[in-house]
A and B are shown apart, each in its own frame.
Chain A
């Protein structure tokens, strides 16, 4: 090609077109000399060749041209691939190199995995770190500290007051059944309190001389609550529980079940459900607005007493009371000798009836009392408030997973121990972890298929008694 117009006097065109006379005489300096350039005229080819050569020498390209970057990238990749130049291939083909071996050798897989891990080591470290921390949190008591502390879980704001040792064997013999009932009830509350970081105060309700008849039998509940409030100065809410109660769903915390939405979970206007037919709101014209209002001031902060109602009125087997001045006054005025003297023969349920009386006759009480639907904290078994156990407002329904069952009145004609045992079994069954559910499913299916029957209860009994023993030993 004539280069008459090239700036350089040299024949080959000099700097503007180097490489035209570069000796390409077949001797290659490396294994893959051939560089086919598909684009371009002679000028481009020459210049690109020179650039490539200098890049090789230097080990890196001189510059990355803007519009050639992409193709250059491809070129680099293609440069790295093994290139056959027919026969001039010095290395023997090594079978198996870069390909999985005939049986997928474990070592290779492991080394591949190891390489991946090494590459992503920072991310894996993070994940593993989080896992370890979570494990530590749950294995050690850290999660309990979390749940207890007032800043985080708020557990130490709640105190469960469990009335144990009812009667203390003074008026009636306390036999093995009574002991067993007490043991189960206490264990159930202990586990629940431990799980959520609540305080548990087990109080001795044995018959004391100062509370004997003609004084204030059964009003000792009031004194007990007062003492407990003094004993736990940090706590805000106190939950009184009779002995014949069982927490069926320990996975519900009090905060999530009731207190986080206190105004939705309770009602202040007793006309929503009024088994005692109390006139509400009050009508005396000399009373102030808040006392006359059916819902007090409507704010959840002013609720100081949460009481469930059963078919016959207030039920104090399971109720909540908040620390406040109002509560101090209520606990003080609850028992009065003048009232007691006139009414104790009428007040069959003693302090419960006294509370109903005060609610009706002393206006200062109403604005701070809220009622809670019975099945939220005080479901009844069949036999209490109805034999069949069908009342949707009152009776425990396993399908709805009621929180707590109160076997009220079981000492009058029913079997307290039997009920406690059955509810305990039911609670364990409803709260099985997935592994246990799977095992039970397997055994049920097996029994159904091979024996044509479902001896579930028996199996559960065996399993649970084993579990109970383990827990006892722990």
Chain B
């Protein structure tokens, strides 16, 4: 397997089951794609009292244990779908030359005005963590992690109980932004790529999106934002047209 797609899901009603079925149908592990899929539940992991979104970290650690040979892990949360299955993760994002052309260097790591800027001269093959930014933070719902000692370091440091007990406002998102700015050994292996490469937002979220963030036809991945806040939004309604 070259890539493992990790879809973190909250166990919720029938809609979610359908979603999973559809995803499975469209992205089955096959010799052609060489991709595996993994659907952990947020309740699988012991988070004490922390918000369930923290479960993405142990689920990634779990995926790395279950697929010991897979080099890349592509995390998507349950409000994200792949809209263009013809694109391959390797050629579209991960390949070093492609990645170098995509990397956004020398910008504040945490928009809009972080003092810490991304490094400007990391070669593409030294990157272990590929992220996007939206308007005011790092994208937390769609990212790619490469297996290795550094990945274990990132995940374990990110999952430190002290960050959970600190009660960041946006949970693991703020924790990630914090550690990425304070610890250069983490920043050294991160690449930021344009948002529409793997994290396009719908029109409903355009206020949060960065300049290049609104979905266009042919984009790889689409995120539906906080669509589980009735009554303004409804995930089922929003996502169904894309199936």
Q: Is the CB of B152 within 8 A of A291?
A: yes
* Best-surrounded residue of B153, B163, B179 (most CB of chain A within 10 A): B153
Q: Is the CB of B161 within 8 A of A361?
A: yes
B61 within 8 A of A: yes
Q: Mark A359-392, 1 if CB is under 8 A from B, else 0.
A: 0011111000000000000000000000000000
Q: Which listed residue (A328, A329, A332, A361) contacts B160, Cβ 8 A?
A: A361
- Tell me which residues from 329 to 375 in chain A have a Cβ below 8 Å from any Cβ of chain B: 329, 332-333, 336-339, 341-343, 358, 361-365
A286 within 8 A of B: yes
Interface size on A, residues (CB 8 A): 26
B242 within 8 A of A: no
Q: Mark B180-197, 1 if CB is under 8 A from A, else 0.
A: 001111100000000000
Minimum distance in angstroms from B12 CB to a CB of chain A: 22
A284 within 8 A of B: yes
Q: How far is the CA of A135 from the CA of B162 in the complex (A)?
A: 61
Q: Is the CB of B65 within 8 A of A288?
A: yes
B136 within 8 A of A: no
On chain A, the residues within 8 Å of B65 by CB distance are 286-289
Q: Which listed residue (B68, B152, B179) contacts A364, Cβ 8 A?
A: B152
Give chain B's interface secondary structure class. helix
CB-based nearest A residue for B155 = A364
Q: Which listed residue (A289, A291, A332, A364) contacts B183, Cβ 8 A?
A: A332
**A338-B149 CB under 8 A given contacts A284-B58, A286-B65, A364-B156:** no
**A343-B162 CB under 8 A given contacts A286-B65, A332-B185:** yes
Minimum distance in angstroms from B157 CB to a CB of chain A: 5
Q: Mark B17-53, 1 if CB is under 8 A from A, else 0.
A: 0000000000000000000000000000110000000
Give chain A's interface secondary structure class. helix
B165 within 8 A of A: yes
Q: Mark A152-177, 1 if CB is under 8 A from B, else 0.
A: 00000000000000000000000000
On chain B, the residues within 8 Å of A329 by CB distance are 150, 153, 185
On chain A, the residues within 8 Å of B156 by CB distance are 362-365
On chain B, the residues within 8 Å of A326 by CB distance are 149, 153
A325 within 8 A of B: yes
Minimum distance in angstroms from B127 CB to a CB of chain A: 15
B216 within 8 A of A: no
Q: Which listed residue (A284, A285, A291, A336) contacts B179, Cβ 8 A?
A: A336
Q: Which listed residue (B45, B62, B160, B178) contacts A362, Cβ 8 A?
A: B160
On chain A, the residues within 8 Å of B149 by CB distance are 325-326, 364
On chain B, the residues within 8 Å of A338 by CB distance are 162-163, 166, 178
**A286-B162 CB under 8 A given contacts A326-B149, A363-B152, A364-B149:** no
**A288-B64 CB under 8 A given contacts A326-B149, A329-B153, A361-B161:** yes
On chain A, the residues within 8 Å of B61 by CB distance are 286-288
Minimum distance in angstroms from A275 CB to a CB of chain B: 22
Q: How far is the CA of A149 from the CA of B159 in the complex (A)?
A: 44
On chain B, the residues within 8 Å of A286 by CB distance are 45, 58-59, 61-62, 65
CB-based nearest B residue for A342 = B162
**A336-B152 CB under 8 A given contacts A287-B65, A342-B162, A342-B166:** no
On chain B, the residues within 8 Å of A333 by CB distance are 153, 157, 183, 185
Q: How far is the CA of A343 from the CA of B152 in the complex (A)?
A: 24
CB-based nearest B residue for A324 = B149
CB-based nearest B residue for A340 = B162
CB-based nearest A residue for B184 = A332
Q: How far is the CA of A339 from the CA of B163 in the complex (A)?
A: 7
Minimum distance in angstroms from B81 CB to a CB of chain A: 25
Q: How far is the CA of A338 from the CA of B59 in the complex (A)?
A: 24
The 3 closest A-B pairs by CB, nearest first: A286-B62, A332-B185, A364-B152
Q: List 25 A-B contacts (CB under 8 A).
A: A284-B46, A284-B58, A286-B45, A286-B58, A288-B64, A288-B68, A291-B152, A326-B149, A332-B183, A333-B183, A333-B185, A336-B182, A338-B162, A338-B166, A339-B160, A341-B166, A342-B165, A342-B166, A343-B162, A361-B161, A362-B160, A363-B152, A363-B156, A364-B155, A364-B157
- A289-B65, A328-B185, A362-B159 provided; 6 other pairs, C-beta below 8 A? A288-B64, A288-B65, A288-B68, A329-B153, A332-B186, A338-B162
Q: What residues make up the interface of B, taking CB atoms closer than 8 Å to A?
A: 45-46, 58-59, 61-62, 64-65, 68, 149-150, 152-153, 155-157, 159-163, 165-166, 178-179, 182-186
